[in-house]
Structures are given as structure tokens and as C-alpha cells.
């Protein structure tokens, strides 16, 4: 029966494999972060809209209020630049 001898592997090969795995993991993580940042509204704006529209009892009214509030905040941000 033959046993595999992993201790005889080259240190360079292991270092290269670990570096490549780290680079791939970093690229995937940064792609996911960029995807989340480029889609939708920032969480702080959503939280502010929820606080501003908390007086609405029905969900549909609250969502409409939040959409209107977010649209208003976007238009003032564009106008001020």
C-alpha cells in the first residue's frame, strides 16, 4: 500500500496556492460588497424614511409614504449638487 507524502510538497507551491485562494476570496468578497452598495438605497435613508412614516397604520400607506419620502430626498440631493 502506497501512502501519499504531503510533507514533500514544495513550499513555493503551497504558498502560491494559498496566495491564489486568498486573491480569489478577496475578489469575490469585494464583488459582493460592490454589488450591495450599487443596488438600492443606503440603509440609513431607509431607516430615516421608516421613522418619518411611522404614523401610517397600514403597510401600503407606509410604503407609499416611504417611497415618496425617498424620492423627495433624492431630488433635493441632486438639486443641491
pTM score, two decimals? Answer: 0.43
Give CA angle at 44 (66, 33), nearest 5°: 115
Instruction: Indicate if 61 and 28 belong to the same structural domain.
Output: no
Whether residues 29 and 50 fall in one domain: no
Q: What is the domain extent for residue 22?
A: 10-39
Domain assignment present for residue 3? The answer is: no
pLDDT reported for residue 1: 61
Residue 41 per-residue DSSP state: -
Q: Does 54 lie in the same domain as 64?
A: yes
Q: What pLDDT is stored for residue 7 in this prediction?
A: 60
**What is the residue-level pLDDT of the chain in tens, covering all 81 positions?**
666 666 656 788 889 999 999 999 999 999 988 887 776 667 778 888 889 999 988 999 999 999 998 888 766 555 555
**Is residue 50 in some structural domain?**
yes
Question: For the chain, how many structural domains are there in total?
Answer: 2
**Same domain as 32, residue 46:** no
* 48, 76: one domain: yes
Residues 19, 34, single domain; the answer is yes
Amino acid at each position: 500500500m502506497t501512502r501519499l507524502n504531503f510533507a514533500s510538497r514544495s513550499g513555493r507551491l503551497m504558498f502560491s496556492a494559498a496566495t491564489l485562494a486568498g486573491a480569489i476570496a478577496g475578489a469575490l468578497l469585494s464583488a459582493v460588497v460592490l454589488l450591495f452598495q450599487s443596488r438600492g438605497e443606503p440603509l440609513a435613508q431607509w431607516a430615516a424614511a421608516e421613522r418619518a412614516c411611522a404614523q401610517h397604520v397600514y403597510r401600503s400607506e407606509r410604503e407609499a409614504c416611504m417611497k415618496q419620502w425617498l424620492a423627495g430626498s433624492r431630488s433635493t440631493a441632486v438639486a443641491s449638487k
